[in-house]
């Protein structure tokens, strides 16, 4: 069990640039979540995939955010035209069923 991996671990970008993050879930897990976490707060739900289908997306998520899971394995999260308020830790989690979530180490985004 290699766990959930995320790349890159850190990303520094300038305001207005696009960024893309990748998440590789545990191989047999069909459920995948993306969260955003800022300092001192709990993870905030962004979106959910079951296999390749994106079944739920937070209403708080602007249209600058998009996520894909093309073959039901790895997933990508893209943020277009980044803003300073996007600076946060972006966490991916996978789950085998409707129970425990296994989190990856996260990608820390800093928007200058």
Partner 1 sequence: GQQVMQIPQYQHVQEGEDFTTYCNSSTTLSNIQWYKQRPGGHPVFLIQLVKSGEVKKQKRLTFQFGEAKKNSSLHITATQTTDVGTYFCAGPSGTYKYIFGTGTRLKVLA
What are the residues binding partner 1 (CB under 8 A)?
A: 33, 35, 40-45, 48, 50, 55-56, 58, 91, 93, 99-106
3-state secondary structure string across 39-58: CCCCCEEEEEEECCEEEEEC
Minimum distance, C-beta of residue 83 to partner 1, in the bound complex (Å): 23
Decide whether 54 or 73 has the Cβ nearer to partner 1. Answer: 54
Measured between alpha carbons, how far is 57 from 35 in angstroms, rounded to an integer? 11
DSSP state for residue 80 in the 8-state scheme: -
The values of phi and psi at residue 74, to 5°, are -70, 165
Minimum distance, C-beta of residue 4 to partner 1, in the bound complex (Å): 9
Decide whether 104 or 111 has the Cβ nearer to partner 1. Answer: 104
DSSP state for residue 99 in the 8-state scheme: S
Minimum distance, C-beta of residue 43 to partner 1, in the bound complex (Å): 5
């Amino acid at each position: 069990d290699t766990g959930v991996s995320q790349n890159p671990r850190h990303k520094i970008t300038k305001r207005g640039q696009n960024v893309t993050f990748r998440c590789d879930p545990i191989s047999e897990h069909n459920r995948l979540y993306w969260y955003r976490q800022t300092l001192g707060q709990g993870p905030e739900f962004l979106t959910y995939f079951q296999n390749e289908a994106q079944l739920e997306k937070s209403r708080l998520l602007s249209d600058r955010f998009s996520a894909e899971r093309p073959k039901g394995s790895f997933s990508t999260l893209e943020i277009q035209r980044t803003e300073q308020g996007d600076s946060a830790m972006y966490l991916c989690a996978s789950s085998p069923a409707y129970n425990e979530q296994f989190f990856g180490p996260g990608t820390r985004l800093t928007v200058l």
